[in-house]
Structure 1
């Protein structure tokens, strides 16, 4: 397991460290352009390539598809959204009363900012099911249950990141007076990654020239490296402990509370056990998604909070992963 995690995290450590190092040599506009470039071009290319790979056949080994996995994925997304929203609502309720100065200092100073709220929810809801989840799943889950993990990842990325995620980011990007339901629908329908994934899935049977096909598949590693680089650049802009401590709450929701509830629910209500149950727990508890930072760049949310949550949740996973294997692996 240690070796698997090392291979999964090696690119993260390498490219994030490079971003930390080169930050001071870059113009101020570079991170914003990089983030928007990933949103409009990089991630669509990645999803187009992944959709054409036929991951279900590669990981699932032709096994029957567990249709319960997408349902559990949607449930996990809703649970994360509800918990994060309730915490934000509770904090704002406390601030609306006259708290003593000591207690007021314990709450985030920028809590009332919509950019903070949007990044808080994105950090708690969206997980890195692709790079981290599918990287560690083969070493921890029986091969017969890998199709559970793959279906979770596909559902989470398509419906979660570029469905739920775009709605959340768009909602917090606009003032309350400007928010209309059709604005969020418009933003979701205009998301480039969704159209790219759909196009790639529908053209799987179309044979492309080998040069184009290899270029598409090679773009995946480039996009991942750029996402890590962006994370490192944003981490270099953090203001020490003040920025990191705000990320503990969404990171804890992401890698501990949500997967714990998923594990309990799949046991009590769906009767899952063994590798299928562990697959659902692992995928629901992966670290905060790098896509959250890309959405923050596009919709002008709090980049510091999401970048901090990525790091904190990644470190927390190393501590919590053995616990999930012990409790839900049998």
Structure 2
């Protein structure tokens, strides 16, 4: 509930900004991709392990899995909705239905509940695909960034996106923690995870559906670089 609530609050903020700035549908959806989804995977979970040990790492993994489900549904929806080839809401919903991650999560949950073993061969095949995920994302992000020059970066949009992602997001998360029945460590992890930079997966979605990919990839890179400054400040405040 928290993960979806945080996502939709950030999306609402983007819609307000888009209305004031008179963004197009593609620009609005690109801003949503860059501002509403955080890198809780290869960035957030190691940070949680460093700060809180294995107990914090386990909780961060749960947040990461749920965040991936949000990205594979809400994120894909807005990426498809803002794409040049999209025909609106129907196309976006069809794109979400075609995402295999959700079906894999449902199947995995059922196998876990029913204690069904999947065998070493299938496990190895899944591990091989999983191990290739992050390198593939990084390659696509690098290919996209290689086409961008400093002059072409949309500075005002990137600034707004980074402000939402690195500043407003942890503040909204802090407000949620005031009402959540969690212990102190979990509340700290939730706030820190919300302060993570833009998820690299959003670049893949933006490229796939051609939803302002130059802006999304620029926001991903710059927010990641600036997080080296903002995250230590968050640590100081939260811990």
Q: TM-score range by the shorter chain?
A: 0.7 to 0.9
Aligned with residue 104 of structure 2, among 196, 200, 218: 196
> Contact 1:263–1:328 (CA<8 Å) still a contact in 2?
no
Q: Is the aligned partner of 1:251 residue 2:162?
A: yes
Distance 1:191 1:249 in 2: 29
Gap change, CA 1:211 and 1:175, over 3 Å in 2 = closer
Distance 1:323 1:274 in 2: 18
RMSD (Å), alpha carbons: 2.4
5+ long unaligned stretches in structure 2: none
> Contact 2:203–2:213 (CA<8 Å) still a contact in 1?
yes
Distance 2:106 2:180 in 1: 30
> Contact 2:165–2:197 (CA<8 Å) still a contact in 1?
yes
Q: Is the aligned partner of 1:278 residue 2:188?
A: yes
Q: Is the aligned partner of 1:187 residue 2:98?
A: no
5+ long unaligned stretches in structure 1: 1-70, 93-110
Aligned match of 1:38: none
Distance 1:191 1:215 in 2: 19
Gap change, CA 1:272 and 1:325, over 3 Å in 2 = farther
Q: Is the aligned partner of 1:260 residue 2:168?
A: no
Q: Aligned-pair distance for 1:273?
A: 6.1
Point out 4+ residue stretches in structure 1 off by more than 4 angstroms. none
Structure with the greater alpha carbon radius of gyration = 1
Distance 1:314 1:264 in 2: 24
Which secondary structure state, in structure 1, belongs to the residue aligned with residue 180 of structure 2?
A: coil
Q: Is the aligned partner of 1:168 residue 2:98?
A: no
Gap change, CA 1:314 and 1:244, over 3 Å in 2 = farther
TM-score (norm: length of structure 2): 0.87
Aligned with residue 119 of structure 1, among 23, 30, 36: 30
Mean Cα displacement is larger for which, 272-281 or 317-326? 272-281
Q: Aligned-pair distance for 1:258?
A: 0.6
Q: Aligned-pair distance for 1:157?
A: 0.9
Q: How does 1:1-330 map to 2 (within 5 A)?
A: 71-92=1-22, 111-112=23-24, 114-141=25-52, 143-158=54-69, 160-173=70-83, 178-180=87-89, 182-204=90-112, 205-243=115-153, 245=155, 246-267=157-178, 269-270=179-180, 274-329=184-239
| C-alpha distance after superposition, 1:253-308 (max 9, x if no partner) | 112211122113313x3375632111101211211112211111221211111111
Q: Aligned-pair distance for 1:183?
A: 4.1
Gap change, CA 1:241 and 1:248, over 3 Å in 2 = farther
Distance 2:104 2:54 in 1: 29
Distance 1:314 1:244 in 2: 17
Q: Aligned-pair distance for 1:252?
A: 2.4
Distance 1:179 1:199 in 2: 29
Which secondary structure state, in structure 1, belongs to the residue aligned with residue 153 of structure 2?
A: helix
Distance 1:163 1:135 in 2: 25
> Contact 1:72–1:280 (CA<8 Å) still a contact in 2?
no
Which secondary structure state, in structure 2, belongs to the residue aligned with residue 301 of structure 1?
A: coil
| C-alpha distance after superposition, 1:301-321 (max 9, x if no partner) | 111111111111111211111
Aligned match of 1:54: none
> Contact 1:119–1:296 (CA<8 Å) still a contact in 2?
yes
Q: Aligned-pair distance for 1:79?
A: 1.5
